[in-house]
Amino acid sequence: MSERSPSPGPTRTVDSTGVVSVVPAGVGYEVDADRRRRVISESPAHVVRCFAEIWAARELLFMLVVRDIKVRYRATTLGILWAFITPLLTIIIYSLFFGVLGRMGTEGVPYPVFLFAALLIWGYFDSSVSRASNALISSGALVSRVYFPRQVLPVANVISPLVDLFFGLLILLAMLLIYRIVPGTAILLLPAYFLLAMAGAIGVGLAASVLNGLYRDVRHFMPVLMRLWFFSSPIIYPVELVPEAWRPLYAVNPMVTVCGGFRSALLGTPPPTVVMIGISTAVTAALLVGGVLIFRSHEETVTDFI
């Protein structure tokens, strides 16, 4: 699909009645039955094209994100307040169970802020992946009636939770003030950890969304996977809980570096080692590329199942 653009330059046609129609250059596409088999052999081109198409459809992406955000808080009485209430309640509950009752080690930081520094970015990752995995199915009517680059749907669902992340950051700032914690220069690495989380979410979200269309089993499996992922990431417990020798293996889960990284950047706890960052980054890159390729090889077939 649109692998090669069949018209190199604009085609200008004048028909018998003198009507002029100009077809712009590079517009159009070719489809053939064998395209799917070529996704792997032409994978670098597919990864580039996948994101080029998103860029070309950025207005659509923007509109979908805006729709998502508007719809989420419209028709609720408390509206945008929910963006504050949900994380606050979560902090209280988790702090009670794991901090007060569980006496979890916190690398010398008060438990609520220790928890929330990691929970914040995990929450973003979790809701991105969960929403993205349903993106194609829940827009089934749209997908089966009008063509647009399909990857826009899951990707929009990775962008719209940024609103909640933003409000979460406000809460976190307030907590830092309350606990009189001043982040050091490590905070400069915060965007890098965030990008790691976002890239991972896009990769997993793309794959999950298209597999969810083909096998509805994914819908049942995703919540379990995310819960497992939650407990295998240092959110309610510190990284120190895992013996040092095992940490490189531990970092195969990129959320280990992301959550640990967020904590170190904001609270000054020990940062992830270079080895861990390297491993996590490599795994994230693999997730991203793998997600794109899985998505590309099934995106045309999946519409028959939605």
Partner 1 sequence: MSQPIITVEKLGKSYRLEAKRGGDHVLASRLVGAMKRVFTQQRTRDTIWALRDVSFEVNPGEAVGIVGANGAGKSTLLKIIARLTRPTAGRLAVRGRIGSMLDFGVGFHPELTGRENVLLSGVILGMRRAEIRRKFDEIVGFSGIERFLDEPVKHYSSGMRMRLAFSIMVTLEPEILLIDEIMGVGDESFRQRSTQRMKQLIESGRTVLFVSHNQRAVADLCNWTMQLEKGRIDRMGATAKVVQEYIEQQVELERPMAKGHAEMAPNPSQAMVLRAVTILDEHGHVAEQVEFSRPFRVRIGYDINEPVTGVHVFCRVETADGLTVLGSGDADCEPGRLAERSPGGYTAEFEVPGGLLEANLYRISISMGRPFRKLIERQHGVVYFSLVDESSVRRSWYEQKRPGIIGHEYVWRYHDADPWAPAG
User: Judged by CB under 8 A, which stretch of 82-90, 248-256, 277-285, 296-304 contacts partner 1?
Assistant: 296-304
Query: Which of 101, 146, 182, 224 contacts partner 1 by CB under 8 A?
Result: 146
Min separation Cβ 129 and partner 1, Å: 20
Closest CA to 305 of 210, 223, 218, 222: 210
Site string for partner 1, 148-187 (x = CB under 8 A): x---------------------------------------
Residue with tokens 């002029």: 20
Nearer to partner 1, 44 or 59 (CB): 59
Q: How many residues bind partner 1 (CB under 8 A)?
A: 48
Q: How many C-alpha atoms does 71 have within 13 Å on its Cβ side?
A: 8
Min separation Cβ 258 and partner 1, Å: 30
> CA–CA separation, 230 vs 232, rounded Å?
6
Residue 23: strand, helix, or coil: strand
**Amino acid symbol at 269:** T
| φ and ψ of 23, to 5 deg | -95, 120
User: Judged by CB under 8 A, which stretch of 8-16, 155-163, 201-209, 263-271 contacts partner 1?
Assistant: 8-16
Q: Does residue number 105 form part of the binding site for partner 1 (CB under 8 A)?
A: no
Q: Which residues within the stretch 16-35 sit at the binding site for partner 1 (CB under 8 A)?
A: 17, 19-21, 23-24, 27-33, 35
- CA distances to 124, 265, 267, 272 from 244, rounded to whole Å, are 27, 20, 21, 11
User: Judged by CB under 8 A, which stretch of 138-146, 165-173, 178-186, 248-256 contacts partner 1?
Assistant: 138-146
Q: Does residue number 147 form part of the binding site for partner 1 (CB under 8 A)?
A: yes
Q: How many C-alpha atoms does 217 have within 13 Å on its Cβ side?
A: 1
> CA–CA separation, 27 vs 50, rounded Å?
16
User: Judged by CB under 8 A, which stretch of 99-107, 139-147, 160-168, 243-251 contacts partner 1?
Assistant: 139-147
b vs e for 245-260, b when ≥16 Cβ sit within 10 Å of the residue's Cβ?
eebeebbebbbbbbbb
Nearer to partner 1, 246 or 304 (CB): 304
Residue with tokens 């190199």: 8
Nearer to partner 1, 142 or 187 (CB): 142
> CA–CA separation, 287 vs 44, rounded Å?
14
Query: Which of 37, 177, 217, 249 contacts partner 1 by CB under 8 A?
Result: 217
User: Judged by CB under 8 A, which stretch of 113-121, 135-143, 192-200, 271-279 contacts partner 1?
Assistant: 135-143
Q: Give the CA angle between residues 298, 68, 263 to the nearest 5°.
A: 90
Q: Does residue number 301 form part of the binding site for partner 1 (CB under 8 A)?
A: yes
Query: Which of 43, 138, 273, 303 contacts partner 1 by CB under 8 A?
Result: 303
Q: Which residues within the stretch 30-69 sit at the binding site for partner 1 (CB under 8 A)?
A: 30-33, 35-36, 59-60, 63-64, 67
DSSP 196-262: HHHHHHHHHHHHHHHHHHH-THHHHHHHHHHHHHHHTSSSSS-GGGS-GGGHHHHTTSHHHHHHHHH
Query: Which of 12, 103, 180, 220 contacts partner 1 by CB under 8 A?
Result: 12
Point out which residues bind partner 1 (CB under 8 A).
1, 6-7, 11-13, 15, 17, 19-21, 23-24, 27-33, 35-36, 59-60, 63-64, 67, 70-71, 74-75, 141-148, 214-217, 300-301, 303-305
